[in-house]
Amino acid sequence: MLKTSENTLDPEDWPSFRKQGHLMLDDMFNYLEQLREQPVWQGLSTEQREAIQESLLTESSDIYEAHSVFMKTILPYAVGNTHPGFMGWVHGGGTPVGMLAEMLAAGLNANVGGRDQAPIELEKQLLEWIKTLFSFPETANGLFVTGTSMANLISVLIARTARLGKVIRKEGLVNSDLKLIAYTSASAHISIAQAMDIVGLGSGALRMIPTNENYQMDVDALAQAIISDKNSGLTPFFIAATVGTVDVGAIDPLAEIADLAQLENIWFHVDGAFGALAILAPSLAPRLLGIERADSIAFDFHKWGQVPYDAGFILVRNGEHQLDTFATPAAYLSRETRGLSAGSPWPCDLGPELSRGFRALKTWFTIKVYGPEKLGQIISNTCALAQYLKQCIELNPQLELLAPVELNIVCFRYRCLNPNRINTDIVIALQESGIVAPSTITLQGQLAIRAAIVNHRTTIRDIDALIEATLAFGKVIENTMTP
């Protein structure tokens, strides 16, 4: 029994606690080292669910026992995105370095909302690196946030303030004569519509522009929609292009959209949740041309960047607009030029949150230790694996490709009668087998098996396993269904 000291929450016996800590660290190293021998995913039994639900009902125990609950009933039953066979959604794999950095950040317990402190300097240093990465000007600003959903919301708010002026923060949209309209593609992430809803503009004020055969926004249709809205007395204010759509990984025509946004004086936002970091891969970066003209970019380090959850970022070309949108005068946040209250503006002036964790540390460790070049290689490697998977599908008459493979996402199906039902069952069987875990998506009424290859641990072996298991399950399921 490892006792807690009588008056604080620190251990009574540090040497024993230290030993326990090292054991816990080793357990996590073992977990990461032996991932491949474990199933990608396995479902919880009813008893295991109950064990988790019960664990707080008992009297306080100690760290041994809490740790053993974690090892027995939590660790083996997560989604599996650390595993090389995970291809379900665009989830990052995490890294051992990121894990250790999280431990350091937790020990430091920094509150990175404001005040004069090194963690904020580190976040600013990352901002400088990000500005250079996307060729953004000195005047740019930015902020770590939970993820791209939050970053998209922040960008809509900033674009709103930029269009209507700071006064809108006090007067509210109800007192505005202008009816603001936003545009994105039919393949855009739902968080854009949600942002319009949360901001109070309404998801109905978001035009979902049709896509072409490559799932990219149709820029002619976008131009038409803008003209038509202007003719109806509405005010187009925001265009969200996507780099790496969630369905098939398409990249919208950024340069053309940038031209149109410039001509029409509309805020040009890029949702680059996973795709923006393709800029780290020299073979992919040219496809992102035009991203450097964005007014704002939302993206995640926790997807293709492999930084542990959560680490999203919002980058804004004109940092003044960001301050105009969020800075508030509050007495307990008063600023000085010296002492702990120096260093204004603070992160809390750039977004809706005050208390916030030290997300910058795990991101900094990841970039510093692995280097941008290696991270770029990982990204291009996942795209090469997607091309390999595409070839395997095209060579096998039993399989059929359902969408172009632009980046790292491959949509295909097993050819059979009643394909939507059978392919749904194949994906469930694959997930339950623990071998590989793709997901499903419906493209133009056709149900596809969707493999999103994001994890740095995924290799050709895993792609081969996906193909083999798909064919095997396909055959079995098809046979049981045939009357």
Ligand X SMILES: *Cc1c(COP(=O)(O)O)cnc(C)c1O
Residue facing ligand X at closest CB distance: 147
Region near ligand X per CB under 6 A, out of 19-27, 146-154, 160-168, 256-264: 146-154
- Tell me how far apart the alpha carbons of residues 79 and 67 are, in angstroms, rounded to a whole number: 19
Q: Is 455 in the site for ligand X (CB under 6 A)?
A: no
**The only residue of 149, 185, 382, 408 in contact with ligand X, by rule CB under 6 A:** 149
* CA-based nearest residue to 385, from 273, 462, 279: 462
Q: Which of 90, 251, 254, 449 binds ligand X (CB under 6 A)?
A: 90
Angle between helices 118-133 and 359-395 (to 10 degrees): 40
The secondary structure element, H or E, covering residue 451 is strand 446-452
R_g of the chain, CA atoms, integer Å:
24
Structure tokens at 110: 């920094």
Angle of CA points 159, 151, 298, to nearest 5°: 90
One residue of 123, 292, 300, 349 binding ligand X per CB under 6 A? 300
What letter does residue 129 receive in the DSSP assignment? Answer: H
* Count of residues touching ligand X (by CB under 6 A): 14
As measured in angstroms, the least distance from the Cβ of 310 to ligand X is 7
Query: Does residue 252 belong to the site contacting ligand X (CB under 6 A)?
Result: no
What string marks each residue from 24 to 63 as x (binds ligand X by CB under 6 A) or -?
A: ----------------------------------------
Examine residue 81 and tell whether it contacts ligand X (CB under 6 A): no
Per CB under 6 A, the list member of 154, 225, 251, 273 interacting with ligand X is 273
How far is the C-alpha of 123 from the C-alpha of 333, rounded, in Å? 19
Residue length, the chain? 483
Beta-bridge mates of residue 300: 312
Q: Which residue has the tokens 């969200």?
A: 240
| 163 lines the binding site for ligand X (CB under 6 A) | no
User: Nearest 5°: phi and psi at 206?
Assistant: -110, 120
CB 69 to ligand X: min, Å: 28
Give the shortest CB-79-to-ligand X separation in angstroms.
13
Q: Tell whether residue 321 is a contact of ligand X (CB under 6 A).
A: no
Query: Is 148 or 380 the residue whose CB approaches ligand X more closely?
Result: 148
Give whichever of 159 and 164 is closer to ligand X, judged by the CB atom.
159
Beta bridge partners of 239: 183, 268
Contact call for residue 271 and ligand X (CB under 6 A): yes
What residues from 184 to 243 belong to the interface with ligand X (CB under 6 A)? 189, 191, 242
How near is the Cβ of 312 to ligand X at its closest, in Å? 5
- 465 by DSSP, 3-state: which? helix
**CA angle, residues 260, 266, 270, in degrees to nearest 5:** 80
Q: Determine if 246 is a binding residue for ligand X (CB under 6 A).
A: yes
**Would you count residue 306 as binding ligand X (CB under 6 A)?**
no
For the chain, helix (H) and strand (E) counts, in that order, are 14, 11
406 binds ligand X (CB under 6 A): no
Quote the least distance from Cβ 306 to ligand X, whole Å.
Answer: 14
Helix (H) or strand (E) holding 220: helix 219-231
Q: Shortest Cβ distance from residue 315 to ligand X (Å)?
A: 15
Residue 305 in the binding site for ligand X (CB under 6 A): no
Minimum CB distance to ligand X smaller for 253 or for 312 = 312
How far, CA to CA in Å, does 312 sit from each of 71, 106, 196, 276, 307? 28, 18, 19, 12, 10
Cα separation of 481 and 471, whole Å? 15
Residues that bind ligand X (CB under 6 A): 90, 147-149, 189, 191, 242, 244, 246, 271, 273-274, 300, 312
